[in-house]
Amino acid sequence: MADVDSAVREAVVGALALEAEEVIPESTLMDDLGAESLDLLDILFRIEKSTGVKIEASALGDYLQGRPPRDEFGAGAVSADEVMALLTVQNLIDLVEGRAGGARRPSGRPRVALKLRVGVDAVRVARLERVVGDDERRQARLFTPGELAYCRGKRRRYERLAARFAAKEAVLKAFGTGISQRMRWTEVEVVNEASGRPRIELDGAVATFARRHGLEDLDVSLTHTEDLALAHAVSIWEQPEKAGRTGLR
């Protein structure tokens, strides 16, 4: 196996097209070296190729926060952008050296069989505005009071409403159900953490379905432009069916 220090530095230099002297141990990937999410994956792939040590982005987040590594799907891990905002070259070197030496922390719980489902949905902003408009009764059928209050206080509120409706659709697709007679759009709510990161809260029949079928974790990503809103949801289910530990009410 290649020298870890050199291998990590070479991976960063190669992925980001930098000069070797630009990469110092204290350099952060995002702020100092200008890396983006895809660059992080490139760096990790290069490290794996040269050292044989495989590291997932979720493990980097756990390492920085001092937590035991999460499962192989990275459930509960911080995002790649959050990792790069904190991660230094020296952090990478230390983590690779620890993995190469077998110093991998235990997960803290037995492995269980997990099933991964994804859902994607796109909504045209103009269409949502035509259908819903300023009609409060229509808005209340699709959005929670919290979602409406958040979007009213923002510029381009129909873009944000369209993104939230796309998220509801994406979540239900990730559940494998779509909307049913017993489920309501307002039972899937998009809330924002202090960092601005979107998170899903479930209620009513949707939350009941999630508990009965073993929802373990749920994540969502939103993006929107003047014309189009897009949402991507990822759900992780524990097998056999057990109650999950996600944001159910």
Residue 164 has a pLDDT of: 95
Residue 58 has a pLDDT of: 59
Residue 243 has a pLDDT of: 45
Spell out the domains of the chain, with CATH numbers in brackets. 4-100 (1.10.1200.10), 113-239 (3.90.470.20)
Residue 125 has a pLDDT of: 94
Residue 70 has a pLDDT of: 43
172 is written with which tokens?
Answer: 């239900």
What pTM was computed for the model? 0.55
d(CA 76, CA 58): 8
- CB distance 162 to 123 below 8 Å: yes
Helix-helix angle 204-212:157-175, to 10 degrees: 30
d(CA 148, CA 192): 13
Please, what sign has the CA dihedral across residues 169, 175, 178, 184?
Answer: negative
Could you give the 3-state DSSP secondary structure of residue 63?
helix
189 is written with which tokens?
Answer: 């709510």
Q: What is the pLDDT of residues 128-143, one digit of tens each?
A: 999 998 899 999 999 9
Residue 218 has a pLDDT of: 93
d(CA 8, CA 42): 12
- CB distance 82 to 41 below 8 Å: no
Q: Which residues of the chain have pLDDT under 70?
A: 1-2, 37, 56-86, 99-113, 178-181, 240-249
Q: Which helix (H) or strand (E) holds 13?
A: helix 4-16
Tokens 């269980």 belong to residue: 112
Where b means 16+ CB within 10 Å and e means fewer, 61-78 reads bbbbeeeebbbebbbbbb
